[in-house]
Every structure is written in C-alpha cells, then in structure tokens.
Amino acid sequence: MPKSPPADRRQFLTATVALPLLSAVDTKSSVPKSRIVVAHDPDVLLSLSGRVDSNRLYRLLNDGIQALAGTDSPREGWQRFVRPADVVGLKVNCLAGKGLSTSVQLTEAIEQCLQEAGVRPENIIVWDRHSNDLENAGFRVVTDRRRPRCYGNDIGGYESELMTWGSVGSLVSSTLVRTCSVIINLPVLKDHGIAGITVALKNLFGAVHNPNKYHLNVGNPYVADVFMLPPIRSKVRLTICEAIVAQYEGGPPFMPQWCWPMRSLILGSDPVALDYTGWQIIEDKRREKGLKPLAAVGRNPAWLAVAADNEHRLGTNDPGRIDVLRIV
C-alpha cells in the first residue's frame, strides 16, 4: 500500500498549462472559471509498459485533489467530493486491455484516499461495462460486500426502464442508478477513431446498454446526450483522467506506436472543461508528430460544443472560462 504523504508536502507550482488556446485567469470577471489540474511527476512512470511507482502515484493523486479543491490537506480535498456515508463508484475504462486502460494502481490509490477520507471499503465499487474487460486490464472481479467490489454491468445489470434525453434512449447501469451515490469518472487520455477523443464525457458510454448506436456523426450529439441522462449527470462528481501514458492516434484500442509517456493525471469537476483541455493536449501532440488536426481528418469532436450549449450546460468549452493549473 502506498505510504501517506509526508508532513512537508511538495510546494504547488501553479501556472497556466502551455496550451495555445488556454488563457490566464481574468480577475475582472465575475463569472467563475472551471479549474482543471494537470498534476505531473517525471518519475512516476518506471517503464513504457505502464509500470508506475505506486508511492509517487499516490502522492501525485493527493497533490492533484488538494490543488483542485484548494484545501489545506488532501483529506479535506477528497471530502469536498465525497462524504463518509457515500457509496462511491469508480467508473474505469478497460476497453484497451492492460496497455491503455485505467490502471489497477490508480484505482487502488483512489481506494486508499477514499478510505482515509472516511468512506468505508465496502462502499467502494470499481465498475465498467464488461467483467471480461476488467479482467483483461488486470482487475479481479470481486462481489464480496465486505470489501471494495469490482465487476461489470453483466453482473450488476441494467435498469428495466428506458431512460431518454435528446437523441438517446438507453437502459442505464443499475450499479450507477441504484447502488452508487457518487461516481468518480476515471477515463484515459486518448484519441478515438470515430468520436475524435474519448476522455470524461464519452467514458459514460460504458454506463448504457447500447453505446454502439451512438457513434454516428462523430458521436454528435450522442456523447453529450448520454451524459445528460439524469442519474449520470447528477452522480458524476469528479473526473480523474489517467494520462501517465496517453495516445494521440489509433484509439480507442491500444496502439503503442502512437502513445507517449505524459506522466500526468488530469483532474476536474467540469467534464467539458476537462475534455477541452485533453483535446488540446492531443492536438498539440499530433502537431508535434506531424499529424493533421482531428478536424482535417473528419474527427472534430463537435459534441463538445453541444455539451456546453444552453440546452445541456454540462460545463464550459470556452478557453477563457477554463483555469488550467499545472503542478509538478
């Protein structure tokens, strides 16, 4: 188990992330900005196969939460998002196997942090669409209610009543609807061959029974509309995007030739702002590698603007309204 952080915590170094479309804080504006934290540790990754230093990952996670919440301690930061009585679902992304899925190490670090914040271990559930995907990514299926559980919707089931919003109609995961009071969203930063990117918003495709129907028109407006389903919108409280190793082309399957070691976590409570930030990071890497921007290859994630419009209001995609904080 990772060690608790020392009393003399690393000093936070804060600055605007070096992305061309993100602006500094406008202190004259009364409209609050969405804070996104990019927490980076150059030594967290031990090998390009994805093996990490668990102690460094734990500290990086706690540093990120403290910076996001603006609290005096990580424990206080976690308590801004969860209460001791909550049943917390960790929605992982395991479609790409061990190469590019939410890691066991990150979920174990989050489980420890949640317990230190007062959440009982039996009230933590790691879940995804399929139990097989979880196992292929290195997780072990656990249904014992006396400890943190881990299983797919094939075990947890779906609601029997169709839920609808806008262009979508789906059966939603019973784990999300009936069991969990809070969802922490744990996507991976990567390109998507149809929808452009798959980060915070699209990770909730794993909460519905028919995501295959929602990939037309580069996922627009389906990515935004799925997130608008009431139990999803009301329960997803925090996103922690794993960007220890990220992928800028060829996703969602793991394609190592298009991966790079970013050695970071991206945290936020605004999924649209987080997706916008992740999108710019991917575009920046594509440009560095000599690839065309997503719009030029027919994969512009236009659903991001839909998610931010007056009908959805899931967050902001306006770079002037996003405060990106980088901590090292």
List, in order of start, the domains of the chain with CATH numbers: 34-321 (3.40.50.11440)
pLDDT tier, 28 (very low <50, low <70, confident <90, very high otherwise): very low
pLDDT of residue 62: 98
Looking only at the bridges linking them, the beta strands covering 168-170 and 163-165 are: antiparallel
Length of the chain: 328
pLDDT-based confidence at residue 255 (cuts at 50, 70, 90): very high
Task: Name the more confident of 22 and 39.
Answer: 39
In the predicted model, is pLDDT for residue 24 greater than 50? no
pLDDT band at 50 (very low <50, low <70, confident <90, very high): confident
| 272 residue type, one letter | V
Residue 226 has pLDDT above 50, yes or no: yes
Helical (H) or strand (E) element with 321: none
Instruction: Name the token pair of 208.
Output: 């519905």
Name the one residue in this structure whose structure tokens are 């925090």: 238
Task: Kindly tell me if the per-residue pLDDT of 67 is higher than 90.
Answer: yes
| Span 110-114, average pLDDT | 98
Residue pointed to by tokens 């789906």: 170
C-alpha span between 143 and 68 (Å, rounded) = 32
pLDDT, tens digit, for every residue of 268-327? 999 999 999 999 999 999 999 999 999 999 999 999 999 999 999 999 999 999 999 999
Query: Which H, E and C letters describe 54-78, residue by residue?
Result: HHHHHHHHHHHHHHHHCCCCHHHHH
The confidence score (pLDDT) of residue 51 equals 86
Contacts of 121 (CB under 8 A, 6+ apart): 111, 115, 147, 148
Instruction: Please choose, from the candidates 55, 51, 47, the residue with its C-alpha nearest in 3D space to the C-alpha of residue 4.
Output: 55
pLDDT for the residue 1: 53
Higher model confidence: residue 41 or residue 25?
41
The whole-number pLDDT of residue 47 equals 79
Question: Which residues, at least 6 apart from 159, have a Cβ–Cβ distance to it below 8 Å?
Answer: 171, 172, 173, 174, 177, 178
Q: What is the DSSP letter of 3?
A: P
Instruction: Return the closest-CA partner of residue 308 out of 215, 223, 244.
Output: 223
- Residues 24 and 319: their CA atoms lie apart, in Å, by 9
**CA proximity to 316, closest of 272, 280, 275:** 272
Which pTM was predicted?
0.91
**Residue 22: what pLDDT?**
33
Share of the chain above pLDDT 90, in %: 87
Q: Given a cut of 80, is residue 212 above it in pLDDT?
A: yes
149-152 and 88-91 strand pairing: unpaired
8-state DSSP, 173: B
CA angle 119–229–211, rounded 5-degree value: 100
| Mean pLDDT for all residues in the chain | 92
pLDDT, position 15: 34
Give me the amino acid identity at 136.
N
pLDDT band at residue 29 under the 50/70/90 scheme: low
Q: Which residues pair with 265 in a beta bridge?
A: 39, 242
**116 contacts: CB under 8 Å, gap ≥ 6:** 4, 75, 78
CA–CA gap between residue 11 and residue 8 (Å, rounded): 8
Residue 17 has pLDDT above 70, yes or no: no
Is the pLDDT at 14 greater than 80, yes or no? no
Q: Average pLDDT, stretch 143-152?
A: 95
Nearest 5°: CA angle at 303, between 269 and 212? 100
Is residue 14 within 8 A of residue 39, CB to CB? The reply is no
